[in-house]
Every structure is written in structure tokens, then in C-alpha cells.
Amino acid sequence: CSQWDGKDTSLRPRAPLAEQTPESLYAAGIESLRQERYVQAIEYFDTVEREHPYSTWATSAKLMSAYSDYMRNRYTEAIGALDRFIQLHPAHRDIAYAYYLRALSYYEQIVDAERDQRGTEIAMARLQEVINRFPESSYARDARLKMDLARDHLAGREMNIGRFYQSRGLYSAAIGRFRRVVEEFQTTNHTPEALHRLTEIYLALGLTEEARRTASVLGHNYPGNPWYQDSYALLVDGAQPAAQDRPGILRRAWNSVF
């Protein structure tokens, strides 16, 4: 039989990455991105950048490798790559997207309202940057939406701490926290509850006049809101508080596990 010289092309791996042209490498990267094989995509894009640093493909490759890192939840690497991209190519065609992707990388790292909220504050600053630099872009619209969600988080933290102090009877501490929500987070949907909590506290302190005034502001701004119904019930005896749609303790235990 013929001497098999091992030249069968299918066995030989494709030309080692280094010699491939930037276009084919970039296209291969996009292809593996589509198949969500991000590690491989990053490898392709990095090769483009390392072997052909001067081709215009390199700049797009840098952006795409940051995007792949983002998709793999490796936010710190993505942020690092994007910082470098923004510094090197401030006038690049897709600079808006780079800022947006960096803001998203910070946003994705937000943990729930019970824990450290420094990440939320940084994410809000980055989102605000996207809105300031590229006001009309579609990214700005999405950034505004995310800003509200992040602001909602910060308000949620204040409310948690406020309720913590109120449940222990430390009313002076609780007032401070709910006041901060009313003053600095009016646009979030926590404001009605904050106003109601203030009404509860002022009543408990015997400052009925102050409680009445707070409840009237709540009623004026959020007429149909169940929280106003609760405040009203407190001030006008006989009125019914909003339905306690609080699930029973068993249900809550079950929910909290699954």
C-alpha cells in the first residue's frame, strides 16, 4: 500500500494561528462568538491583536475580546480591556459601545440590597458617563433605564436599614434613613413606603400633626397607592388598611428555598 506520508490535510491542524490573515482570524472569532464558544473567540481576537497590532482589525478585535470576557461573566478582565481600548482609541467609531459595555460590566456586578452597595454607586457613575457622552445613542436610553434600577437598589438599602431601626424602636435612627429616601430617591418606587413609615413613626412619637402632614403629602402624590391606604387607616380610625398580601410563614419558607 502506498506510503502514507501523514499529509492528510484533515489530520493536520489548520495553519497555525500566527500565519493566518487578520480577516480570517477575526471572522473565526466572530463565528465562535456566535456559537458562544467564548474562550476560543478570545483566543482568536488576542492573536489578531498580538500578531497584527497595526491592522485596523486589531482595534475591533480588542473590543470583541472584551465583549467575549463580558459574556463569560469575567467582568474585571472586560473592564480592564475596555479601559485600554478607550484610552488608545478615543475617536473610534464604536467608542460609545465601549463606554456602554464597561458600564454594563459594572452594572452586572451589583449584588442585592442587603450587601455592600459600593459597586452600585460605581455602576451609576459609569452609566451617567454614557448618558453624558452619548445622549442620543440607543445605549443612553438603556443606560437611563439601568440607572433607575441601580438607584432603586440604593433606595432599597436605605429602606432595609430604616426598617431595621424602626422594628427595634430606635425611631430617631429610622427617621434619618426614611428622610434620605424621601429627599434623594423620590423617583424610585420606595418613596410611598418611606412616607408611610414616617407616618407610623411620628404617630408612635405622639407627633400627630407631623404624621398628618406626611400622610397628606403621600396621599397627594400617590393617591391610589396601598401605602396611602395604610396611612389613612392609621390616622382615621375605622378605615381599612390595604390587603395584607403577605403570604403565610410556610409559603414564605417554601419560597425562600426554591
Partner 1 sequence: CSVFEAPPVQRGNRADPELLAQLTPGVQTQADVQALLGSPTATGTFDRNMWYYISSVTRMRPASHFTVEDRRVIAMRFDEGGTLRDIREVGQDDMRSVDMVGRTTPVPGTERTVLQALFGNIGRVGAGGLGSETAPGGGPGR
Partner 2 sequence: QPRRGAAAAAQPANGVIRQIDVEGNQRIEADTVRSYMLVQPGDAFDSDRLDRSLRTLFATGLFRDVQIGRQGDRVVVRVQENPIVNQVAFEGNSKLSDDTLRPEVQLRPRAVFTPAAAQADRQRLLELYARRGRFAARVEPKVIERDQNRVDLVFEITEGDAALISRINFVGNENFSDSRLKEIVSSREAAWYRPFSSSDTYEPERLNFDRELLRRYYQRQGYADANVTGATAELAPDRSGFFVTYTVNEGPRYSVGKVEITSALRNVTAERLQRVMEISPGDRYDGDAVERMVQTLTDEANLAGAPFVEVEPRVTRDRQGRKVDLVFEVKEGQRVYVNRIDITGNTRTQDRVIRREFRIAEGDAFNAAQVRRSRQRIRDLGYFQDVQINPVPGATPDQVNLNTNVAERATGEISIGGGYSTDAGALADLGLRERNILGTGIDARVNTTLAQRRSQVDLSVTDPSFMDRNLAVGVDLFYVVRDLTDYSGYEERRAGFSLRAGYEFNERLRQSWSYTLSRRNVFNVLDDASIYIQEQKGVTVLSQVGQTLTYDTRDSRLDPRDGYVLRLGTDLAGLGGDVNYLRTRLDGTYYVPFERLLGDPDYVLAISAGVGHMFSYGGRDKDERIIDRFFLGGENLRGFAVAGAGPRDTSTQDALGGRTIWTQTTEMRFPLPVPSELGLLGRAFVDVGSLTGIDSAPNIVDDSSPRVGAGVGISWRSPFGLINIDLAQALVKKSYDETQVFRFGFGTRF
Q: Which residues bind partner 2 (CB under 8 A)?
A: 49, 53-54, 58-59, 84, 87-92, 111, 114-116, 118, 157, 160-161, 164-165, 167-168, 170, 172-173, 175-177
Residue 158 interacting entry, from partner 1, partner 2, none, C-beta within 5 to 8 Å by type:
none
**Phi (first) and psi of residue 43, to 5 degrees:** -60, -45
Among 81, 82, 175, 177, binds partner 1 (CB under 8 A): 175
Q: Are 141 and 154 in contact (CB under 8 A)?
A: no
Residue 39 interacting entry, from partner 2, partner 1, none, C-beta within 5 to 8 Å by type:
none
Q: Please, which residues have CB within 8 angstroms of residue 130's CB and are 6 or more apart in sequence?
A: 96, 99, 100, 103, 139, 140, 143
Binding residues for partner 1, rule CB under 8 A, total 85
Among 67, 99, 106, 232, binds partner 1 (CB under 8 A): 67
Give the shortest CB-223-to-partner 2 separation in angstroms: 32
Q: Are 45 and 26 in contact (CB under 8 A)?
A: yes
Long-range contacts formed by 148-153: CB under 8 A, 24+ apart: 148/187, 148/188, 150/107, 150/110, 150/120, 150/123, 150/124, 151/124, 151/185, 151/187, 151/188, 152/185, 152/188, 152/189, 152/190, 153/110, 153/112, 153/113, 153/117, 153/120
* Residue 217 interacting with partner 1 (CB under 8 A): yes
Give the shortest CB-129-to-partner 2 separation in angstroms: 17
Residue 241 interacting entry, from partner 2, partner 1, none, C-beta within 5 to 8 Å by type:
partner 1
Give the shortest CB-21-to-partner 2 separation in angstroms: 16
Q: Are 195 and 159 in contact (CB under 8 A)?
A: no
Give the shortest CB-249-to-partner 1 separation in angstroms: 11
Radius of gyration of the chain, Cα coordinates, nearest whole angstrom: 28
Give the shortest CB-80-to-partner 1 separation in angstroms: 17
Query: What amino acid occupies position 96?
Result: A
* Residue 106 interacting with partner 1 (CB under 8 A): no
Among 28, 110, 127, 161, binds partner 1 (CB under 8 A): 110
Residue 7 interacting entry, from partner 1, partner 2, none, C-beta within 5 to 8 Å by type:
none
Looking at the Cβ atoms of 120 and 225, the one nearer to partner 2 is: 120
Looking at the Cβ atoms of 63 and 218, the one nearer to partner 2 is: 63
- Residue 40: Cβ-neighbour burial (10 angstroms; 0-12, 13-18, 19+): middle
What is the widest separation between alpha-carbon atoms in the chain? 105
* Residue 93 interacting with partner 1 (CB under 8 A): yes
